[in-house]
Chains A and B, each alone.
Chain A
Amino acid sequence: MQINYTLNLFILVILVAAGLWTVMTRSLIRSAIGLALTSVILTLLMFRFDSWLVTVFELSVCAGLISVIFISTISLTEPLTKSEVLKHMKARLARFIYLPLLILVVGVGLSFIKVNLNFQLPVAEIEADARKVLWNMRDLDLLGQVVIIMTGIFGVIVLFREMRRK
């Protein structure tokens, strides 16, 4: 039990580190890779919590599809010069320098709040049949997510394709 808890905590720390690297890294490509890495670590955590469907979605959509979209979009943009990158890096460091301290304060603060965690969660029907959940129960959300993806595609066309032509 204790080993499991320690392992989960260790994965959580790596997750935060990967997230910070994603935000702080100099290059956009590395940032996209960092995001994919963060998703993979989150997948691992979800796998350990026996959330199978979340694991599959996180790995395929967030680590896979989203990274591909990011990298395709980045390839359409003009890269910054080295001096510009350094300038942005300094500004970013100045902006995020207090972040670890803030996380620490919030964490300590939250540890004092006593929350009754005795929830009676419904048995997930996902375990029985994910298709039923997605196509019969959450069909409107699926449609909404299709619309979000379509909007993203038009966004890339509007904001990047025309720029590249110029």
Chain B
Amino acid sequence: MLSFFITTPLIVLMILNLPFRSLMKRIVFVVGLSLALIQAVLVALAIFGFWDIYSIPVSPMLRFNIGVDNLSLLLLLCNGMVVFITMLVSRSFIEEGEKRFNFTSLLLLSFAGVNGIALARDIFSLYVFIEVVSISSFILICFNKDRDAFEGAFKYIILSAIATIFMLTSIALIFLVSGDMSFEAVRAALDNSAHTSLVLMAIGLFLCGFFIKAGVVPFHGWLADAYTSASAPVSVYLAGVSTKAVGVYALIRIVVTVFGFDTPINKVLLFAGALSVVVGAIATLTQTDFKRMLAYSSISQIGYIVLALGIATPLGIAAAAFHFFNHAVFKSLLFVNAATLEIATGTREMDKLGGLAQRMPVTGVTSALACLSIAGVPPLAGFWSKLLIIIALWSSAHYNYALIAALASLLTLGYMLLLQRKVFFGSVGDHLARIKEGEWNLIICAIILAAVTVGVGVLFPFNLCKLIIR
């Protein structure tokens, strides 16, 4: 059954590329949307125990070396949800016909790639699927072919290539030591290896590779440009799932399953995480472009996930996974709102906006919910994950880091309120007097994501945490 998550998008893509091109162009949007929605629903039901993901037998030809646990399910769920939202947002930005067909095809390839990352149980397979997602992301970033987009994509390609070199070198060194690629075999080999310096070098290279892909400080140079220059649906996809899958999820997976927690690794993760939290938050304060501000805020929030992972306790890992999910939801929501504003006002410069909550009530309210959630205000989802991170830091005697996390959260509240005030509060300027609420597809996206943020926050924090720990 698991292999369907990888093969189905590819089979659908092949069918879409068969003759009857004009028919395929007409149905491509609905097909992509349905596929993502089906995955999100199936995985959500599997998480809550309504069906067994292993129960459907498949042909031996499709039995790959893959596996699933709750962390994988979380990524599969995020992937289904964010791709569904991206497809809906693309309806307003990518014109129907050839362009939308190509966009959906690329998105489906990336969708399969993220599913591959979630299910891989072998370091080389994980690397291959990371490359699938990275390559499709480069092309998606410069999809509109304007100068800024090419620049953003180029920066991403160069830094991503460096990350690739680091990862491949690390895989080669690990293979020298372990003689195998599967997670279990590598874990056993690393535990018993006499080549301590070589293993340490391999781990260091792998961590650097993941830090570049995730945009962790000081490897964050590409992230703001890529997020800002990409078209709105691509920004939603990058911030919601792509960067998280290739950088953050892969980092959690490799550290938890393969490398294990060792003092040097923990220290590096804690320091890099805390640095990202602070630098990202401070950089956010100086931004005037709505999307650029969200991009820097992403660096800070990814820092929280890395920081939580560095705690190396079950509670820390659970907090990292929970914040991973929450960030996918509220950051996608904020990028959807950025898209709505861009269409309605024609600008992303916050200084030119103001008072839009009166004209765009749904966008204003959902944006406020996302801002409060990202800042960790109860009872929204972001509050629980940040609380778990701070409790995990405190209970493992990392008092300084707990203080940094708490203070940076106040900083987050500050810049998010600043964003709300500049864009949605106050009086409406004359040039914005005729602005109306966004298109129906964008409103639906915002409402769905806001409902998830509120729903998870109010109903499920403890249950979700238990599921993640299990």
Binding site for B on A (CB under 8 A): 113, 115-116, 119-122, 138-141, 143-148, 150-152, 154-155, 157-159, 162-163
Across the two chains, which residue of chain A brings its CB closest to B122? Answer: A140
- The reply to whether the CB of B139 lies closer than 8 angstroms to some CB of chain A is yes
Which among B6, B106, B122, B135 is the interface contact of A158 at CB below 8 angstroms?
B106
Instruction: List B contacts of A155 (CB < 8 A).
Output: 106, 135, 138-139
> Do A152 and B135 have beta carbons less than 8 Å apart?
yes
Instruction: List B contacts of A159 (CB < 8 A).
Output: 139, 142, 145
Which among B10, B124, B136 is the interface contact of A141 at CB below 8 angstroms?
B124
Which among A146, A151, A163 is the interface contact of B135 at CB below 8 angstroms?
A151
Asked if A151 meets B139 with Cβ closer than 8 Å, knowing A140-B122, A158-B102, the reply is: yes
Question: Which applies to chain B's interface (DSSP): helix, strand, loop or mixed?
Answer: helix
> Do A143 and B136 have beta carbons less than 8 Å apart?
no
Question: Which of A116, A151, A152, A159 counts the most chain B CB atoms within 10 A?
Answer: A151
Q: Could you list 19 further interchain pairs (A-B, Cβ under 8 angstroms) beyond the known A140-B65, A143-B64?
A: A113-B197, A115-B198, A116-B194, A116-B198, A121-B176, A122-B180, A139-B64, A140-B64, A141-B125, A143-B6, A144-B113, A148-B128, A148-B131, A151-B109, A151-B136, A152-B135, A154-B139, A155-B138, A159-B139
Asked if A147 meets B10 with Cβ closer than 8 Å, knowing A140-B64, A158-B102, the reply is: yes
Across the two chains, which residue of chain A brings its CB closest to B179? Answer: A122
Instruction: List A contacts of B132 (CB < 8 A).
Output: 144, 147-148, 151
Proximity bits, B100-118, A CB within 8 Å = 1, else 0: 0010011001101100100
Q: What is the bound-complex CA distance between A163 and B128, given in angstroms? A: 30
Q: What is the bound-complex CA distance between A115 and B199, given in angstroms? A: 11
Q: What is the bound-complex CA distance between A148 and B179, given in angstroms? A: 26
Q: List 18 A-B contacts (CB under 8 A).
A: A116-B194, A116-B198, A122-B180, A138-B124, A140-B64, A140-B122, A140-B125, A144-B129, A147-B113, A148-B128, A148-B131, A148-B132, A148-B135, A150-B10, A151-B106, A158-B102, A158-B139, A163-B145
